[in-house]
């Protein structure tokens, strides 16, 4: 009975939020606020993707902006140079990003912890450097201006309502898909990999395959966010997709709670609003992100929405190495 | 020409080595990576800058004081970002020091501005010739200081009581504690040494390129980490060798292939090493009895 | 044909030979034991069988299939599952989720199944649920199924790990010191539990130090010392074997015991 009540109030809350989100632009006809909402939506999608890889599968990834950028540039170039329709370019951005996710996932499958973190960081930097230096394709630091706005049957959809509601759809679908993924055989395997990769392997899980799948799905999300961003802002350049951006997205996931879908949503919204609130203190923006990461880890490591970890015993370095030599000594 | 590029590479590499040794020491003793180590290097550089420009000290005094200052910063970082997280899962210190590095970079930008600073006439522009190549005064200082510091480190690690304690702690913390080693002190000492070396590298680089800027720690830290991985993450001599190799390869690559992609070379090496032999040149393999 | 055939398997770590040309077989339906003093290499053997370490030489055949050096997950998929000496449960998952995870390799749904929520996926999830509850009932953990695995007592954690292993429907179950840290009562329960599993047709190979358990339940015992097989046979044969006694108690001990 209590459970039913709880589910009821949860559904009620979600329902209220959904209604509020749907009527927002009609009630608050303020361009600035609508824009922030759209940006927040983009970050929700980015955070959901990163959370899948880092929060649920335990693969620490510091190059997330790379997939964001790959999606953006893919979509922009397809519409600019090949006159593709937005409706095809958008998913293509996600797909190409996913391919790069696989590309990154396969060689990193054996790596753990810091090796993985640095490799993903390196990957992020490599992509940024390529975007910056392959001027024939990307125009380097000059960026790609004039990215066409989406249109349907000849009519341009370049108005704030379209962007807002389309983002709402993307976010709802994104969250919905993520919930389904987590609560499935696939999702359970990913969590098992995070908890104890060796045990997961011994329970029949092909951890390589699943890590790659996680990267691919997460990167797809980031690519979609990138594609949307390219057409929303109509101008992109490599500076947007830097290590700082990766940090921002990571901070959102950490703050919201790693391994929590609602956490990614909350973290993304809060850290999108933050720089707006600190408008006058723009130079302090990154410091605040850094401090948030430190404070969350030191004080509430599970983030805002995460569950507290019962860290009864910290694994010793030997068991952390991923083999059973710690137990070998007795056998 | 080739010899010149190699000399330049060795100079740059010596600097990577000094930073990388810090990573190796800290990873060896704690098994954790210190994402803010590059910022310690950067702060060391700025200490040097301030000491030379505002206090008009000579290079060597500034260097010495900067080393001490960096060592102190290292001790503080350990107390704030590592010690409280001893029992936390391993991602925690990584995220924490990541956040710290962001904070330090941006604080430095606020305090000193993001433009590049330089010191006029800091070193005489003399140089000696060697088989057709030039070794500049700055490079001589770098080689000299780097060698001196590395020798000092070897002495500390292998000829002193504290060094023995550090090595013991790196191999087995619990056993070392049972043998009466004050683990907290040793960890602080390790951070002090590693950070001091990093700070020294910062001053040397600042003088060599005559450029001091808040973001200098980011790339240098990454590359030094690459050097350490190349040498074997927990190996101090490995970090030394790895740094030199990286410096030379990077210089040759930038000279003969393309300088725009210069930074990419380091990452390419990193990824190659991790894919082929993650334990590096001197490191122990992942397998094997513990 | 033996269910498991280990043929001349060796494992060297650098200069150290952990397992030296070991050959043993486990017949279908039997409960076999692998014993030996500490450092004998028993867990290393398990690690070799389950693909955690590559063998230096030799061959492992399971059900007629060569599984030498195959990846761990494939080995589990063909029917060989193990438990760990140091209990490796998924600590932040519930008891129920741990066992359910064991069922992973007997199901198929992937990304499409997750997103589409189609009929066959639903059926599969139902089957997984039923099987999991069944196994939990077998080990008496149903009423604690929603608790975190890490909160269970040591003895129950061991049971949980066995239940999880059983969820993968193995033909051969490798138990690594299942009775470690158990009191006599728990050991007795474990013994009868293993007996029941065997009676249902499960072949078992276990590493143990608890001689009472081993002698009671094993039909064949292989003894290792420093990676070398020094004896093999029925329990009472092994018990009275001089080499074995000396391995455990030291040289000359067998004389003292006479």
d(CA C201, CA C204): 9
Q: With an 8 Å Cβ cutoff, are A287 and B110 in contact?
A: yes
Beta carbons of A184 and C47 less than 8 Å apart: no
CA dihedral B56, B61, B65, B66 (to 10 degrees): 80
The mean per-residue pLDDT over the stretch B182-196 comes to 90
User: What pLDDT is stored for residue B169 in this prediction?
Assistant: 84
Residue A323 has pLDDT above 60, yes or no: no
Is the CB of B92 less than 8 angstroms away from the CB of A301? yes
Taking a C-beta distance cutoff of 8 angstroms, is the pair A254, A296 a contact?
A: yes
> What confidence tens digit (pLDDT) does each residue in C14-70 have?
888 889 999 999 999 999 999 988 888 899 999 999 999 999 999 999 999 999 999
B145 pLDDT higher than 60: yes
B289 domain residue, yes or no: no
CATH number at residue C186: 3.40.50.300
- When mean pLDDT is compared over A144-158, B107-121, C123-137, the highest value belongs to C123-137
- As for how many domains chain B has, the answer is 1
Q: Report how many Cβ contacts below 8 Å link chain A to chain B.
A: 134
Instruction: Please state the rounded mean pLDDT for residues C86-104.
Output: 91
Q: Which of A19-23, A222-226, B6-10, B11-15 has the highest mean pLDDT?
A: A222-226
Per the prediction, chain B carries an average pLDDT of 84
Cβ <8 Å between C101 and A188:
yes
Does the distance separating the beta carbons of C114 and A186 come in below 8 Å? yes
Q: Which residue of C has its CA nearest to B288?
A: C13
Q: Is residue C107 pLDDT above 80, yes or no?
A: yes
Per-residue DSSP letter, C222: E
B92, B103, B288: which to substitute to probe chain A, counting the most A Cβ within 10 Å? B103
What is the Cα C176 distance to its own chain's centre? 5
For chain A, list the contacting chains (3+ Cβ pairs, <8 Å).
B, C
Report yes or no: B286 at the C interface, CB cutoff 8 Å.
no
> Cα(C143)–Cα(C132) distance, rounded to whole angstroms?
13
Residue range B44-68, pLDDT digits in tens:
999 999 998 888 888 888 899 999 9
> Looking at the predicted structure, is the pLDDT value of residue B260 above 70?
no
Per mean pLDDT, which of A109-113, C2-6, C36-40 is the most reliable? C2-6
Q: Which residues of C136-173 are buried (b: 16+ CB within 10 A; e: fewer)?
A: bebbebeebbeebbbebeebbbbbbbbbbbbbbbbbbb
CATH at B256: 1.10.3470
Check if B287 contacts A (Cβ < 8 Å): yes
Task: Give the confidence band of C258 by pLDDT, cuts at 50, 70, 90.
Answer: low
* Per-residue confidence (pLDDT) for residue C108, from 0 to 100: 87
Confidence of residue A326 (pLDDT cuts 50, 70, 90): very low
Under the banding of pLDDT at 50, 70 and 90, the label for residue A76 is: very high
Mark yes or no for CB contact A293/B99 under 8 Å: yes
Question: By the 8 A CB rule, do A267 and A257 touch?
Answer: yes
Is B288 an 8 Å CB contact of chain C? yes
User: Which of A181, A312, A328 is closest, CB to CB, to C114?
Assistant: A181
**pLDDT of residue B129 exceeding 70:** yes
**Please, are residues A300 and A267 in contact by the beta-carbon 8 Å criterion?**
no
Q: Which has the closest alpha carbon to A292: A253, A263, A238?
A: A253
Q: Is residue C74 part of a domain?
A: yes
Average pLDDT for residues C133-149, to the nearest whole number?
90
Q: Is the pLDDT of residue C8 over 60?
A: yes
C-alpha to C-alpha distance for A58 and A190, rounded to whole angstroms: 8
Does residue B41 form part of some domain? yes
Choice among B129-143, B187-201, C33-47 with the minimum mean pLDDT: B129-143
C242-248 LR contacts (CB < 8 Å, sep 24+)? C247/C36, C247/C37, C247/C223, C248/C37
Task: Answer whether residue A300 shows pLDDT above 60.
Answer: yes
pTM above the 0.90 mark? no
Q: Which residue in chain A has the smallest CA separation from B108?
A: A287
Instruction: List subunits contacting chain B, requiring 3 or more Cβ pairs under 8 Å.
Output: A, C
Q: Which of B199, B229, B193, B230 lies closest to B212 in space, CA to CA?
A: B199
Contact in structure between B194 and B70 (CB atoms under 8 Å): no
**Lowest mean pLDDT segment, chosen from A131-140, B92-101, B124-133, B174-183:** B124-133
Number of domains in chain C: 1
Radius of gyration of chain B (CA): 18
Residue B270 has pLDDT above 80, yes or no: no
Query: In this complex, is the C-beta atom of A299 within 8 Å of any C-beta atom belonging to chain B?
Result: no
* Portion of chain B with pLDDT greater than 90, in percent: 22
pLDDT at A315 over 70: no
Interface test with A, best of C14, C104, C176 (most A CBs within 10 A): C104
Q: What is the pLDDT of residues A160-177, one digit of tens each?
A: 888 999 999 999 999 999
Flag whether A301 is in a domain.
Answer: no
- Residues of B in Cβ contact (< 8 Å) with C18: 289
Compute the distance between CA of residue A169 and CA of residue B215 in angstroms, rounded to an integer: 39
| CB of B289 less than 8 A from some CB of C | yes
pLDDT digits (tens, 9 = 90+) for A121-154: 888 988 998 998 888 888 888 888 888 888 887 7
Q: Is the pLDDT of residue A30 over 90?
A: no
- A322 CB neighbours in chain B (<8 A) are 286
Question: Roughly how many angstroms between the first and final C-alpha of chain A, as a whole number?
Answer: 51
Does the pLDDT value for residue B111 go beyond 70? yes
Cα–chain-centroid distance for residue C243?
26
Query: Residue A47 belongs to what domain range?
Result: 36-242
Contact state of A330 with C102 under an 8 Å Cβ cutoff: no
Chains that touch C (3 or more CB pairs under 8 A): A, B
Residue B290 within any structural domain of the chain: no
Considering only A32-46, B58-72, B271-285, C81-95, which range has the smallest mean pLDDT?
B271-285
Q: How far off is chain C from A98, nearest CA to CA, in Å?
A: 14
In contact, C221 and C230? CB cutoff 8 Å: no
- Give me the pLDDT at residue A90, please: 94
Tell if the CB–CB gap between A311 and B88 is shorter than 8 Å.
yes
**pLDDT band with cut points at 50, 70 and 90 for residue B121:** low
Task: Give the pLDDT of residue B263.
Answer: 76
The interface pTM score, or ipTM, of the predicted complex is 0.89
The confidence band for C256, taking pLDDT boundaries of 50, 70 and 90, is low
Cβ-based contacts of C90 with chain A (< 8 Å): 191-192, 195-196, 199
On average, the pLDDT of chain A sits at 85
pLDDT of residue A261: 93
Q: Report the pLDDT value the prediction gives residue A275, as an integer from 0 to 100.
A: 81
Residue B285's pLDDT is: 43
Residue range(s) defining the domain that contains residue B224: 2-111+122-276
What pLDDT sits at residue A328?
A: 27
* Residue B165 belongs to some domain of the structure: yes
Residue A98 counted as domain residue: yes
Mean pLDDT calculated for residue range B157-163: 88
B274 → closest Cβ in A119, A286, A298: A119
| pLDDT band at B2; cut points 50, 70, 90 | confident
Of B148 and A327, the structure prediction assigns the larger pLDDT to B148
Choose from B106, B242, B276 for mutation: most chain A CBs within 10 A.
Answer: B106
- Residue C32, domain member (yes or no): yes
* Residues 86-145, chain B, touching A (beta carbon < 8 A): 86-92, 94-96, 98-103, 105-107, 109-110
Q: How confident is the model at residue B251 (pLDDT cuts 50, 70, 90)?
A: confident
Q: Between β-strands C31-35 and C57-62, what pairing exists: parallel, antiparallel or unpaired?
A: unpaired
For tokens 């499960």, what's the residue?
C202
Tally of structural domains, chain A? 1
Residue A274 is predicted with a pLDDT of 83
Interface test with B, best of C12, C13, C19, C52 (most B CBs within 10 A): C13
């Amino acid at each position: 009975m209590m459970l039913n009540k709880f589910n009821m109030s949860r559904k009620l809350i979600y329902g209220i939020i959904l209604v509020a989100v749907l009527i927002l632009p009609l009630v608050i006809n303020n361009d600035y606020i609508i824009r922030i909402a759209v940006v927040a939506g983009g970050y929700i999608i980015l955070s959901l993707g990163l959370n899948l890889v880092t929060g649920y599968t335990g693969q620490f990834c510091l190059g997330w902006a790379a997939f964001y950028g790959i999606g953006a540039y893919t979509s922009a170039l397809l519409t600019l140079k090949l006159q593709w329709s937005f409706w095809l370019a958008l998913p293509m951005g996600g797909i190409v990003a996913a391919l790069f996710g696989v590309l990154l996932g396969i060689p990193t499958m054996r790596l753990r912890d810091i090796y993985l973190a640095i490799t993903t960081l390196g990957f992020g930097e490599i992509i940024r450097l390529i975007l910056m230096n392959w001027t024939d394709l990307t125009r380097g630091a000059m960026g790609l201006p004039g990215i066409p706005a989406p249109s349907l049957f000849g009519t341009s959809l370049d108005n704030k309502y379209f962007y807002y509601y389309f983002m709402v759809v993307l976010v709802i679908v994104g969250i919905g898909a993520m919930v389904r993924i987590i609560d499935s055989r696939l999702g359970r395997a990913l969590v098992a990999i995070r908890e104890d990769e060796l045990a997961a392997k011994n329970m029949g899980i092909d951890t390589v395959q699943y890590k790659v799948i996680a990267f691919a799905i997460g990167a797809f999300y980031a690519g979609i966010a990138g594609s949307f961003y390219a057409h929303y802002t109509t101008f992109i350049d490599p500076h947007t997709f830097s290590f700082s951006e990766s940090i921002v997205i990571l901070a959102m996931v950490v703050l919201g709670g790693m391994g929590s879908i609602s956490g990614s949503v909350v973290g993304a919204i809060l850290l999108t609003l933050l720089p707006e609130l600190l408008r006058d203190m723009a130079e302090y923006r990154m410091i605040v992100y850094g401090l948030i990461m430190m404070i969350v880890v030191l004080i509430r490591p599970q983030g805002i929405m995460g569950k507290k970890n019962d860290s009864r015993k910290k694994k010793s370095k030997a068991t952390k190495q991923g083999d059973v030599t710690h137990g070998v000594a007795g056998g | 020409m080739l010899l010149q590029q190699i000399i330049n590479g060795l100079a740059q590499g010596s600097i990577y080595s000094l930073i990388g040794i810090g990573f190796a020491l800290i990873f060896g003793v704690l098994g954790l990576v210190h994402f803010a180590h590059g910022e310690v290097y950067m702060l060391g550089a700025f200490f040097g800058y301030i000491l030379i420009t505002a206090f008009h000290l000579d290079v060597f005094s500034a260097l010495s004081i900067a080393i001490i200052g960096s060592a102190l910063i290292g001790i503080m970082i350990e107390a704030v970002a590592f010690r409280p997280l001893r029992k936390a899962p391993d991602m925690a210190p990584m995220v924490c020091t990541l956040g710290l590095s962001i904070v330090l970079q941006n604080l430095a930008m606020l305090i000193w501005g993001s433009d590049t600073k330089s010191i006029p006439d800091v070193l005489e522009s003399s140089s000696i010739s060697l088989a057709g190549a030039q070794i500049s005064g700055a490079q001589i200082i770098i080689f000299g200081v780097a060698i001196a510091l590395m020798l000092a480190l070897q002495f500390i690690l292998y000829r002193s009581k504290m060094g023995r304690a550090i090595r013991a702690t790196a191999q087995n913390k619990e056993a070392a504690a049972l043998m009466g080693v004050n683990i907290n002190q040793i960890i602080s000492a390790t951070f002090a040494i590693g950070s001091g070396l990093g700070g020294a590298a910062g001053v040397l680089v600042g003088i060599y390129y005559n450029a001091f800027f808040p973001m200098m720690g980011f790339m240098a830290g990454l590359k030094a980490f690459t050097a350490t991985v190349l040498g074997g993450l927990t190996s101090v001599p490995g970090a030394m060798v790895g740094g030199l190799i990286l410096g030379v390869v990077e210089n040759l690559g930038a000279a003969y292939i393309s300088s725009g992609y210069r930074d990419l070379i380091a990452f390419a090496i990193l990824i190659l090493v991790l894919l082929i032999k993650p334990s590096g040149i001197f490191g122990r393999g992942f397998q094997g009895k513990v | 044909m033996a269910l498991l055939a280990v043929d001349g398997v060796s494992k060297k770590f650098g200069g150290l030979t952990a397992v030296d040309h070991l050959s043993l077989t486990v017949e279908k339906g039997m409960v076999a034991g692998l014993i030996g003093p500490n450092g004998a290499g028993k867990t290393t053997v398990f690690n070799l069988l389950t693909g955690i370490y590559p063998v230096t030489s030799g061959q492992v055949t399971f059900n007629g299939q060569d599984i030498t050096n195959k990846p761990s997950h494939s080995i589990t998929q063909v029917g060989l599952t193990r438990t760990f000496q140091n209990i490796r449960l998924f600590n932040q998952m519930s008891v129920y989720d741990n066992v359910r995870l064991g069922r992973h390799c007997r199901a198929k749904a992937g990304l499409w199944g997750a997103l589409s929520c189609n009929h066959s996926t639903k059926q599969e999830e139902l089957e997984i649920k039923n099987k999991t509850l069944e196994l939990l009932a077998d080990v008496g953990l149903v009423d604690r199924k929603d608790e975190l695995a890490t909160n269970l007592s040591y003895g129950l954690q061991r049971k949980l790990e066995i239940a999880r292993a059983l969820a993968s429907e193995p033909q051969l179950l490798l138990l690594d010191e299942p009775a470690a840290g158990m009191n006599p009562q728990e050991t007795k329960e474990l013994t009868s539990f293993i007996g029941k599993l065997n009676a249902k047709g499960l072949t078992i190979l276990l590493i143990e130090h608890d001689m009472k358990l081993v002698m009671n339940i094993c039909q064949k015992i292989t003894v290792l010392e420093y990676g070398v097989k020094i004896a093999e046979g029925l329990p009472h044969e092994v018990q009275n074997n001089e080499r074995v006694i000396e391995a455990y108690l030291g040289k000359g001990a067998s004389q003292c015991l006479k």
